[in-house]
Amino acid sequence: MIDKLELEDLFLRKKPIRLLMNIKLGSAKYVSILAKETDCTYSHTVKLLDIFRNLGLVDFEKTGRIKYVKLTQDGIELAQDFESVLRKFSKLRSKKK
């Protein structure tokens, strides 16, 4: 079981949020593409995706030898929430300048 502090540690870091947002953009992607887009190592991306899967945020869909990653409904909702927060940060940054 993941407690509240572990969730905060996970989602208050740049790479997990960037990974979640990259999955949200466009169609289902496979792990190596997500690792490149997130500027993250393949093994770290796999570890994050495993945590996301355990939280019910992503599903894996295997087609031939390729395993695609897509968001579940909970994952979509969380990505939209983070998108709103990031937009708010962007607005605050532009006001500061």
Q: Which domains does the chain have, with CATH numbers?
A: 13-96 (1.10.10.10)
pLDDT digits (tens, 9 = 90+) for 8-44: 677 778 899 999 999 998 777 889 999 999 999 999 9
- Please check whether residue 29 is in contact with residue 13, taking contact to mean a CB–CB distance below 8 angstroms: no
62's enclosing H/E stretch is strand 58-63
The partner residues of 58 in beta bridges, in order of sequence, read 71
pLDDT digits (tens, 9 = 90+) for 57-84: 999 998 898 889 999 999 999 999 998 9
Distance CA 70, CA 76 (A): 9
